[in-house]
Amino acid sequence: MRVFKFGGASVKDAEAVRNVGKVMGLYPNEEIVVVVSAMGKTTNALEKITKEYMTKEGDLKKSIQELKDYHNDILADLFPDQGHKIYNEVNNVLVELEWIIEDEPIDDFDFEYDQIVSLGEMISTRIVSAWLMESGIENTWVDVRDLIKTDNTYREAVVEWESTESAIKKKLSPVMKGEGSSVVVTQGFVGVTTENYNTTLGREGSDYTASILGSVLGAEDVTIWKDVPGVLNADPKWFEKTKKLEAMSYHDAIELAFFGATVIHPKTLKPLQNNAIPLYVKSFFDPEKEGTLITGVKKLPKELELVPSFIFKVNQVLISILPRDYSFIVEENLSEIFKLFADIGVKINLMQHAALSFSVCVDEDGGKIPDLVEALQKDYKVLYNEDVELVTIRDYDQATIDRVISGKKIYVEQKSRQTARFVVKDVG
Ligand code: ASP
Ligand code: MG
């Protein structure tokens, strides 16, 4: 039994959906749970629709029409027979959306967001399932709301493992009979509360869905199909020459995610690690190529060349906190300071402690920084530098450090055996 996850880019148009069929065709006579994201940029489009619905600003009608047109174009390309039942299935989801927006929104943005945004996956999975059928790949469409049970932290729902496990076993075991081929198509990203309201697991949460299903079902492996050949040593957005990493440990992958790499949703790795289920990241363009394998191995085989990996976090602020009276920053101060960060909800990306100062690098977003600075200024002197970048290099060597930081002013530098981190500003 395996779990495949196809993200938004892998189902962004008719051609891409056909390609999913091709990939699946390489695995006949297997039991596969296929987890699918919303098509292309649908989640962003639904976010916009939610905002327009809640604020009554913008052109809600137009945005909904665009969403319909986008999906209808894909349908028309894949299913020339307008009488095909897929048209009805997709239309039913769109009607659900119309119903939601006919009512006045309740005063809870996150709740309304989850009811609306989750519909993207409801549509995409219908289309993928119908297309696989069309190409001769028998499959069962399963509503993931029968499987993934969560609390009601809308937009960042927390999985309730006990009920989720028993639901998955009860619902999927009869389908995955363990005898030859059976394919299930279901939604990533979406869950449900005990009151039957839709929830979502956080942006990019479909990877996590695949990991939950894989770990409960004891999958042979989980594969995330992407538009890159595997986990790369740098984000192609920032680097022209990227290299694919052949293999890495869960530990490395978690650290990379922590440092800001966006390849894999950070929550994804833990259930897989706990159940020792290998994770592959592979290219849906080159499905027969190796991709990257992420497993529990502590030490990678010698023959694997160490490739330095770069992670850039832009839009950072470096905040330095100093005592007003030249007293040392000691444990009591630090615990006070940490409490302020936690209360205001600012996540620390890097910190450095010296005799008379404590510096942290944080994300600039969310407008929380002014509140934080104000709160800190009650007891401390606060200096800050905006528009800095946080650069992390794993498996570094001096040549790569020189290359990465050239033309930049360094504010903070930290090195451990495996990782070098810099807070820098462009001066070039
Ligand atoms: N569709 C959701 C998003 O774009 C979830 C996912 O793709 O993983 O964030
Ligand atoms: Mg995605």
How sure is the predictor about 195, in pLDDT bands with cuts at 50, 70 and 90? very high
Contact of 141 with 185, CB cutoff 8 Å: yes
CA of 188 to the centre of ligand 2 (A): 9
CA of 164 to the centre of ligand 2 (A): 23
Residue in 404, 380, 402, 381 with CA at minimum distance from that of residue 391: 404
Q: What residue's CA is closest to ligand 1, atom 6?
A: 204
How sure is the predictor about 329, in pLDDT bands with cuts at 50, 70 and 90? confident
Q: What is the 3-state secondary structure (H, E, C) of 90-113?
A: HHHHHHHHHHHHHCCCCCCHHHHH
pLDDT at residue 114 in the model: 98
164 CB near ligand 1 (under 6 Å):
no
Contact of 230 with 291, CB cutoff 8 Å: yes
Mutate to test the pocket of ligand 1, among 5, 44, 204, 207 (most ligand atoms within 8 A of CB): 204
Top-ranked range on mean pLDDT: pick from 96-100, 260-264, 332-336, 413-417: 96-100
CA of 339 to the centre of ligand 2 (A): 33
318 to 91, 106, 360, 383, 411: CA distances (angstroms)? 49, 38, 6, 8, 9
Mutate to test the pocket of ligand 1, among 6, 37, 46 (most ligand atoms within 8 A of CB): 37
189 CB near ligand 1 (under 6 Å):
yes
Ligand nearest to the CA of 188: 1
> In whole angstroms, what is the distance from residue 135 CA to residue 25 CA?
9
Q: Which CATH number fits domain 309-426: 3.30.450.20, 3.30.2130.10, 2.60.40.1170, 3.90.79.10?
A: 3.30.2130.10
Q: Where are the domains of the chain?
A: 2-226, 309-426
Overall average pLDDT of the 308-331 stretch: 87
Contact of 11 with 40, CB cutoff 8 Å: yes
pLDDT above 70 covers a percentage of the chain that reads 96
Q: What residue's CA is closest to ligand 1, atom 8?
A: 204
Mutate to test the pocket of ligand 1, among 12, 206, 207, 226 (most ligand atoms within 8 A of CB): 206
Atom of ligand 1 nearest to the CA of 207: 8
Which pTM was predicted? Answer: 0.85
Class of CATH domain 2-226:
alpha beta
The reply to whether 2-226 and 309-426 are identical in fold is no
38 CB near ligand 1 (under 6 Å):
yes
pLDDT at residue 298 in the model: 64
